[in-house]
Structure 1
Amino acid sequence: MTLEYWREYRTYFHIAKSYGISESSCYRNIKWIENTLIKHPDFQQLDGQKSLLNNNFKDKTVIIDVTESTIQRPKKVKNNIIQEKRKNIQ
C-alpha cells in the first residue's frame, strides 16, 4: 500500500478499495510504515523538513537565472487577414 501511495500518487480511498479495507485503516498503515522508516538509521535523510537545516546543506549554493528576455513576435497586419478571408468566400 505504501509503495502504491508513493509511486502512483493514488488516494487513500482508492488504495483502500483495492485492498478491501477502510480509508482510515489505509491511512494509519501508511503513516505507520513512514514513521517506522524515519526512525530506522538507514533512512535518517527522511527526518522531515527540519533535516534540510542540518550543516550538510549550509555549504550548498543554488543559482537560478531569471533574467527577462524579449520574444520577437510577428506584427499583425489587418489588411492581409481581411483580403485572405474575402478570397476564400465565393
Structure 2
Amino acid sequence: MKFKKNNQISDKNFLRLTGIKHTTFNKMLEILKIEELKKRFRRGRTNKLSLENRILMTLEYWREYRTYFHIAKSYDISESSCYRNIKWIEDTLIKHPNFQQLTGQKSLLKDYFKDKTVIIDVTESQIQRPKKTKTALLRKKEKTHNKNTSYNWKR
C-alpha cells in the first residue's frame, strides 16, 4: 500500500522521504528477499506486510525517530511486530558485507583508535591548602555550638 504510493515519486523526493536512493533501496530489497526465502523454510506465520513496506517502515524509523507505537499504528500492525520487523531488517543488513557501515558507533571507534597512541601525564603535584590555625578551629567550634542550641517556643 505505502510502497506503491512512494515508488511512483521522483528519485529526489524519494531521497527526501527515506534518506536513501532508489538504487540503495533495491539493493536492500534483493538482500532481504534472499534472507526471507531462507527464513520461509522454518515454520511460522507469514508476515502481514510486504517486504517493501517493512523496509519503508524501517527507513521511517531511522529517518524520523518515531516510536514503534506510532509506526505500528500507521502500518496497522502491533507494536511488537513492528519492533521484530525493524530488528530483523537491521540485523540482516548489518551482517551483509555491502552494509557494514551500519554496524554502529562502537565499530567506528575501534577503527579510529586502532593505530593511535595516547600519552597521559600522571605526575603528582602538590595542592596548596590553607593552614589550620587556632582561630579557624575556634570559629568552627562556635558555628557547631550555635547549631545545637534549642529554641524557646512561645505559647
TM-score, normalisation: structure 2: 0.35
Among candidates 38, 62, 65, match of residue 94 of structure 2: 38
Give structure 1 regions of 4+ aligned residues with deviation exceeding 6 angstroms. none
Higher relative contact order (CA 8 A, sep 6+): 2
Deviation of 1:49 after TM superposition, in Å, equals: 3.9
User: Superposition RMSD on alpha carbons, in Å?
Assistant: 1.7
Among candidates 80, 84, 89, match of residue 28 of structure 1: 84
Measure, in 2, the Cα distance between the counterparts of 1:9 and 1:31: 14
Measure, in 2, the Cα distance between the counterparts of 1:50 and 1:39: 15
Unaligned runs of 5+ in 2: 1-56, 117-155
Measure, in 2, the Cα distance between the counterparts of 1:40 and 1:29: 17
Partner of 1:9: 65
* Number of residues of Structure 1 aligned to a counterpart in Structure 2: 58
Instruction: Compare CA radii of gyration and give the structure with the larger one.
Output: 2
Measure, in 1, the Cα distance between the counterparts of 2:104 and 2:64: 21
TM-score, normalisation: structure 1: 0.58
Cα deviation 1:32-53 (Å, max 9, x = unaligned): 0000110010111222343121
Unaligned runs of 5+ in 1: 61-90
Measure, in 1, the Cα distance between the counterparts of 2:79 and 2:106: 29
What amino acid is aligned across from residue 53 of structure 1 in structure 2?
K
